[in-house]
Amino acid sequence: MYPVSRWLQQRLCSPLVDLSYVLMSLLCARGFPRWYERLTAWHYRRRAPWYDRSVIELEGARYAQALEAGLKALSVQPKRILDVNTGTGFVAQRVHELFPDAQIVATDLSEAMLAQARARCPQIEFLQADTARLPFADGSFDLVTLHNGPPHLGEMARVLRPGGQMLIAFTSGARLPRVLLRRWLTRVQRFGRVERGRAGDGLWVIVTKF
């Protein structure tokens, strides 16, 4: 059954989830409805204890392929980093390994997922927060990261300093419909100079803020 589960996750679930993230970024730029937030909290409260095993481990090396490629393409040397939609802290931990002297803050809407993240990497400050309403001042961070989550571009750009970089990566983003991806990238370009690339099925996008 395990190979079947892996095939379903990689070929069906992952592309559909990434598709939903980009659609939400386009349709809900000012934030999600309250009913969606409540549904999300309920879903991840149930899923948090086995999320790593059922998603990250099942995806295998491809899970972070685009993320790693994007991290290598960064040109900023960040002192303050924000990881949004951190989930169980996978990206926050990886960024901490790459930039051990940086101050790192990570946020997520689900307190249950944050509990897993704090156990994973206690050196990082994890806060419950909605990416559409981040509790930080303008220009607070040198680098903002998001992996496999709905990008609230305006709010992520707001807390990024001029010249800072935003890294967005999707495990299966390269499999998104081209017309949708072009439309989303047009919106991304409003916030800075855009670089992008693919790694396997994954897509990474770096925005250097104007």
Confidence (pLDDT) at 11: 61
How many domains does the chain fold into?
1
Output the pTM of the full model. Answer: 0.92
Domain that holds residue 23: 2-209
CATH number at residue 8: 3.40.50.150
CB 88 within 8 A of CB 115: no
Burial class (CB in 10 A: 0-12, 13-18, 19+), 138: exposed
CA R_g for the chain: 16
Q: What is the pLDDT of residues 25-38, one digit of tens each?
A: 998 877 777 777 77
Which of 12-26, 96-110, 188-202 is least confident? 12-26
Pair 99, 123: CB distance under 8 Å: no
Residue 112 neighbours by CB under 8 Å, 6+ apart? 44, 45, 48
Residues 6+ apart with CB under 8 A from 86: 92, 106, 107, 108, 113, 114, 117, 126
| Per-residue pLDDT tens over the stretch 173-197 | 999 999 999 999 999 999 999 999 9
Each residue of 138-166: pLDDT tens digit? 999 999 999 999 999 999 999 999 999 99
Q: Tokens 């220009």 belong to which residue?
A: 139
Could you tell me the two tokens for 114? 């944050």
pLDDT digit string (tens) for 60-102?
899 999 999 999 999 999 999 999 999 999 999 999 999 999 9
